[in-house]
Amino acid sequence: MIAGIVDSIELVKSDISDNNLLEFRIDLNSELISKISEAPQDQVILTYRSIDEGGRGEESDRYKILSELSRIPTGFIDLEISRDAKFLAEKMYEIVQPNIILSSHQYLKPMRETYLKFKESIKTFILNVLGEEDENKQLPQLIKSIEKTLHKKIIIKFVGDPIDTVDYLKTYDIMSKHFERIICLGLNNFAHIGRTANRKLNQYLIFASLNQSQRFPSVTELNNLVELNGAFTGLIGDPIEHSLSPLIHNQLFESLNLSGYYHLLKVNSSEDLGYLINKLQLLDFTGTNVTIPYKEDIIQHIDSLYKEAEELMSVNTIKFEKRRIKGYNTDCSGFSTFLRSHGLEKSQTALVYGAGGASKAVIYSLLKENIEVTLVNRSLERAETLKETFKGKIMVSSKEQSQKQSYDLFVNCTPLGRTGDISAIPEFGTFNSAMIDLSYSTKKTGTVKLAEKLNLQSFDGKEMLFHQAVDSFEIWFDKEVDREPLLDKFLKEVSQ
């Protein structure tokens, strides 16, 4: 079930299906109490969220307002474990709702540790309500006892602030072993999987906005995922909070009239990659992208590598195919498509600055176009190592040596100048055609500004990002995308 959040009078008569609910947030708007009768009452949750747990409910009014709400014949009432034991103990036989949600919203990290403390507080809460002192009773036994006493269903709700997607999923795993009916949600955008995959996770219910929201998937989006058998994709990496990939992939889903959701799957440690990949398989993900710092670490969890991924030992795209996991590298094809779309594949020479993971795909693509590559890096040792990867087909130069040379292209594969500072870009030789920055921002990067100053063609990393994303999408869904109108739309949207 999905509960749409009602926080204004205008939303009271929202059209919902028989399987959905409405949560009336009385703490956000007290006038909603008089409008409850206008909604299908058995599908209504009444909530008076306290200030400590993210709401606006005043503590001084809490007992009085909960007493009033408990007498309104709706389907559910929400009570907070941290403060409502006394109310439930005194009013247990007056509450008319057949379902009680015992909730807790905790903002300390990591989520798993906070949950374990929350679990103990539930035990204390139930013992206090029942007036018992037997602390040896297990939680399932206690839940059955309080349900029998109250003649009501108990749903346990825990909302936390996970440090990454794995922290959320492992919290859910633990919680699902302790309770039969659970709601386990994360507050940030890399825990959206708890909402989108709510049925596959067997959540009792989850909460969503009745309007389009930037923070969480809406009721309409979640219903569409279920009704249209929506596809799950996403991005694995860290940091990923400001990635533009969701914007591109959502446009792709829309353009091809496909139902799907692109998740941000933050992973803090490479040790958790195996767990996450296994979990995504169980949740029927179609595929994921992989970004820094896991393009190499992810390989040990993949069954087979395709062409460029195997040659570079770098994966940015995963496809789940039945019981097998395939790895691809669309950074290479994305950069090649970008070069060809601007006629830059005809260049003769290129200076690549930076020997990190991003430069691998760039050099691979340049060599494929028969462009002579010179690599400059602060660490010559690392540059020589990368040269060995390409079997000596590139030249390694110092910054001082490069200043005496002329090149057609400059490709910045470092984060230097990302914030727009031209002085962050070292002085190299002269350039004849274009300067390309793999970094991108809503503003011009230092490389782009320098190119404009030198009257050269200038590009940041948005177009390469777009093309590698489309290549991934085509691999996952075996569909060809008409790129030009979508690229124009994407570039226009990110420039605003």
Which residues does the annotation mark as catalytic?
295
Please answer whether residues 178 and 118 qualify as being in contact, where contact means their C-beta atoms are separated by less than 8 angstroms: no
Cis peptide before 293 (omega within 30 of 0): yes
Residues comprising the chain, all counted: 496
- State the residue for tokens 């496809």: 319
The β-bridge relationship of strands 430-437 and 304-305 is: unpaired
**Strand partners for 435:** 410, 458
- State the residue for tokens 């699902």: 176
CA 124 to chain centre: 34
d(CA 480, CA 375): 35
**Strand partners for 158:** 104, 184
Cβ-in-10-Å burial (0-12, 13-18, 19+) of 312 comes to buried
Phi-psi group of 131: left, alpha or beta (phi > 0 → left; psi -120 to 50 → alpha; rest → beta): left
What value does the CA radius of gyration of the chain take, rounded to a whole number of Å? 27
Q: Kindly report the backbone phi and psi dihedral angles of residue 101, in degrees, each rounded to the nearest multiple of 5, phi listed first.
A: -95, 115
**Closest by CA position to 270, among listed 166, 349, 341:** 166
Concatenated DSSP letters of 362-373:
HHHHHHHTT-EE
Residues 6+ apart with CB under 8 A from 158: 103, 104, 106, 115, 118, 171, 175, 182, 183, 184, 185
d(CA 274, CA 422): 41
d(CA 494, CA 462): 9
Phi-psi group of 162: left, alpha or beta (phi > 0 → left; psi -120 to 50 → alpha; rest → beta): beta
What are the structure tokens assigned to 151, written together? 């003649």
